[in-house]
Amino acid sequence: MINLLRRNKKQSKLCYVLFLFFALIGCESQVKSDKKKLANPFKPKPENIKNVTVVNDPQFPPSPPYVAPLDIAIYAVTQYQKNNKESIVFISVSEIYPLSEHPDSVAIPNLGGKGIKDIEYFTLEAIYKERFFHRTKIAKADKIFIYDYAADNLLVLPIKALKVIACLSPYANLEDESLSQSDYMIGFEIDKKFLNGFKDLYFQYTLAYIGKEGPFDKGQMKAMTWEKIDSKSFPKIKSEDVTRLRGAIVGDAYKFETDTLHYFIQDFLGNEMNSARHLVIFSSKTKDLVFEKIYFEEDGIELAPLNFSKAAYNNIYQWTGNLFKAKPPVIFGFTSLSFGCESISFLHKVEKDIYIKCDNRH
């Protein structure tokens, strides 16, 4: 009797184990089946996609590739009058070199006891030159790219071949005995022998970049020459800034065209407000609005004259075209600034303006 009971218990355990085994197998099969369903629940059956054709609808063209914002430093090229006689060509990078007013700062040597000729302009000695490269993050293996977009002339020079100099800012007070390094502009002197091909000796059409690869796209910039049109032909655009033009006297309107873009300008004359200029740009192909901006005259900001003749080389203000490689077209030259430096605008909704580092301390 006892043996029979033991045999029944063993059979019961065996049945229980077998039951769990088959139950687990069933669950695993169900999970796999569910995963297959969840992997792509909207996937059509093969017979439903045999005759599908992909069509390029011209009404819905593919979106243009995203262009990442340009994050580079662009510098102005200037002339510096040395000792009120000799002029040098200079690129100041003081805007990326933290300069302190503290007398113990280390960008330049102690100037105590020296005459004005010795402190107005000087080349940095090795120890200060090393500090300059360390603090600005400029590598000695870098190059400087100097581009005259009016003459389409590009000069490339190795940084290691250039002098690093310090010269007093035009706004420094020479009678102040407490001159500090913050009164100096520090940067690179460019030997004039390298600039024989540059027509504009004031470098108003010249930009510089420091790095390993040059960003400038040669031969793509155009001087804008405006043609007068009927003011009624100026496109009507709604924007937040347009409300600031209420009450202003409508002035003349102008247009400029390239193969791909149509540019329109509308002047507004000062009455109870300062003068302003409204710029709108459309795609010649799609007629879509590409760019819109209103330039206002304000304290330290004047409207630059418009270009009406290509012959007047020294009076070309507005420029447009592909200034930078693999980037959208740019436009600039609509304002004249007393304070700060000019900026370059991209004809793109994402790309931000580039502020030209001109070391204006006015």
What is the percent of the chain with per-residue pLDDT over 70, rounded to a whole number? 75
Mean model confidence pLDDT for the chain: 79
Q: Which two tokens stand for residue 198?
A: 């540059």
- pLDDT for the residue 171: 82
With b meaning 16 or more CB within 10 Å and e meaning fewer, what string describes 129-157? Answer: eeebeeebebeeebbbbbbbbbeebebeb
Per-residue pLDDT for 326 more than 80? Answer: yes
Per-residue pLDDT for 87 more than 60? Answer: yes
- pLDDT for the residue 234: 93
Per-residue pLDDT for 310 more than 70? Answer: no
Which pTM value belongs to this model? 0.77
- pLDDT for the residue 122: 93
CB 346 within 8 A of CB 326: no
Q: How do the domains of the chain map onto residue ranges? A: 74-211, 221-355
- Cα–Cα distances in angstroms (integers) from residue 191 to residues 72, 79, 151, 213, in the given order: 25, 11, 19, 21
Closest residue by Cα to residue 96 from 187, 16, 216, 174 = 187
Per-residue pLDDT for 286 more than 60? Answer: yes
CB 347 within 8 A of CB 281: yes
Q: What is the DSSP string of 70-121?
A: P---EEE-EEEEETTTEEEEEEE-GGGS-----TT-SSS---TT--HHHHSE
Q: Which two tokens stand for residue 100?
A: 């302190």
CB 99 within 8 A of CB 181: yes
- pLDDT for the residue 98: 75
Calculate Rg over the CA atoms of the chain.
Answer: 34
Residue 269: pLDDT band (50, 70, 90) is: confident
Mean pLDDT over residues 150-176, rounded?
A: 90
- pLDDT for the residue 200: 82
Q: Which carries the bigger pLDDT value, residue 48 or residue 140?
A: 140
Residue 54: pLDDT band (50, 70, 90) is: very low
Q: Which two tokens stand for residue 97?
A: 């070199």
Per-residue pLDDT for 88 more than 80? Answer: yes
> What φ, ψ does residue 46 adopt, rounded to 5°?
-55, -35
Dihedral angle at the C-alpha atoms of 267, 271, 273, 278, nearest 10 degrees? -10
Per-residue pLDDT for 7 more than 70? Answer: no
Sign of the torsion angle spanned by Cα atoms 228, 233, 237, 243? positive
- pLDDT for the residue 281: 96
**How do residues 100-121 score in pLDDT, each as one tens digit?**
666 556 788 887 777 777 888 9
Mean pLDDT over residues 280-284, rounded?
A: 95
